[in-house]
């Protein structure tokens, strides 16, 4: 069985269990709903990163600024030489989003705990309600890495190349979202877009097809077959998208780090932007 392209970015639960007291390792739980997760019990020593409050701009429809990330990492006790291990709810959707954002701002010592919160609990590993108070961290955000993120106009410009097979758009939502049968995923039934469907030329490869029943990632061979069978390969640039960018961050992580694709970008505007704009083309 071949190793992942970048196996160093993924750690197993047993590895993390043995490093919980390592002063060079900071663990962070990234949650969409902390009250139902972190507040009910979390990994010993893990800090909370609230997806809505901490990784998104409080006013604009955007991710947090570089200055805000510097402040967040200061509160979380993260330095340049800190190994930051992320895990979270919803099969690591939001942890993967955090991984993408933090990488965008130059954090390069990041890891994702394979299987996330779900697997840790399934293994009956310890949880606590104690909230740590780490010493102030000194990591400073770097200029954004434009090669990791796509905006609306980037996707518009890519459409002719998508049609010509020189660019891949991967829609990681469920089949009913992709077809336009529903306009919100089952996990967020009240958060609709104005139109259902998908970006023209996009290939539907739901994020969940990349993981096993326990939430851990499938083997490299299985992942390679999954994407190649849908015409997605490392030979062309790839843009991933979903509804708000969190599920597509999960697939971005798979393509970039587990399979080693050289040019993968996440379109975090995703369907909430594309599906709500006047005169943006869609397919059903």
Average pLDDT over residues 233-261: 97
* Residues 6+ positions from 69 with CB-CB distance below 8 Å: 101, 102, 105, 141
Q: Is domain 147-274 in CATH 3.40.250.10, yes or no?
A: yes
| Averaged pLDDT of the chain | 96
Q: Which entry of 242, 258, 259, 264 is annotated as an active-site residue? A: 242
The CATH fold assigned to 7-144 is: Oxidized Rhodanese; domain 1 (3.40.250)
In terms of pTM, does the model score above 0.85?
yes
Decide if pLDDT at 106 tops 80: yes
Residue 11's beta-bridge partner residues? 113
Where are the CATH 3.40.250.10 domain residues in the chain?
A: 7-144, 147-274
Q: Do 231 and 206 form a contact (C-beta atoms < 8 A)? A: no
Q: How is 80-123 classified by DSSP, letter by letter?
A: TTPEEEEEESGGGHHHHHHHHHHHHTT--SEEEETTHHHHHHHT
The string of pLDDT tens digits covering residues 175-224 is 999 999 998 787 777 667 889 999 999 999 999 999 999 999 999 999 99
**What separation, in Å, do the N-terminal and C-terminal C-alpha atoms of the chain show?**
38
pLDDT at 55: 98
Respond yes or no: is residue 82 known to be catalytic: no
The string of pLDDT tens digits covering residues 15-37 is 999 999 999 999 999 999 999 99
245-156-55 Cα angle (round to 5): 25
């Amino acid at each position: 069985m071949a190793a992942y392209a970048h196996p160093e970015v993924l750690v197993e639960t047993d590895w993390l269990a043995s490093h919980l007291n390592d002063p060079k390792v900071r663990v962070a739980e990234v949650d969409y709903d902390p009250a139902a997760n972190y507040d009910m019990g979390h990994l010993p020593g893990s800090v909370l990163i609230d997806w809505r409050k901490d990784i998104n701009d409080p006013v604009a429809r955007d991710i947090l600024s570089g200055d805000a990330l510097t402040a967040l990492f200061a509160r979380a006790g993260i330095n340049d030489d800190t190994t930051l291990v992320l895990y979270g709810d919803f099969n690591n959707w939001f942890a993967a989003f955090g991984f993408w954002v933090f990488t965008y701002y130059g954090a390069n010592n990041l890891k994702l705990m394979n299987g996330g919160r779900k697997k840790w609990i399934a293994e009956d590993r310890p949880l606590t309600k104690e909230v740590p108070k780490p010493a102030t961290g000194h990591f400073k955000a770097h200029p954004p890495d434009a090669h990791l993120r796509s905006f609306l106009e980037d996707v518009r410009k890519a459409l002719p190349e998508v049609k010509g097979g020189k660019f891949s758009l991967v829609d990681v939502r469920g089949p009913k979202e992709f077809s336009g049968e529903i306009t919100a995923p089952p996990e967020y039934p009240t958060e609709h877009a104005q139109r259902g469907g998908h970006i023209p030329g996009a290939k539907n490869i739901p994020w969940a097809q990349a993981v096993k029943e326990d939430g851990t990632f499938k083997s490299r061979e299985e992942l390679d077959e999954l994407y190649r069978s849908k015409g997605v390969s490392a030979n062309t640039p790839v843009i991933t998208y979903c509804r708000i960018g969190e599920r597509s961050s999960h697939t971005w992580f798979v393509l970039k780090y587990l399979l080693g694709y050289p040019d993968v970008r996440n379109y975090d505007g995703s369907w909430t932007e594309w599906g709500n704009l006047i005169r943006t083309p869609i397919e059903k």
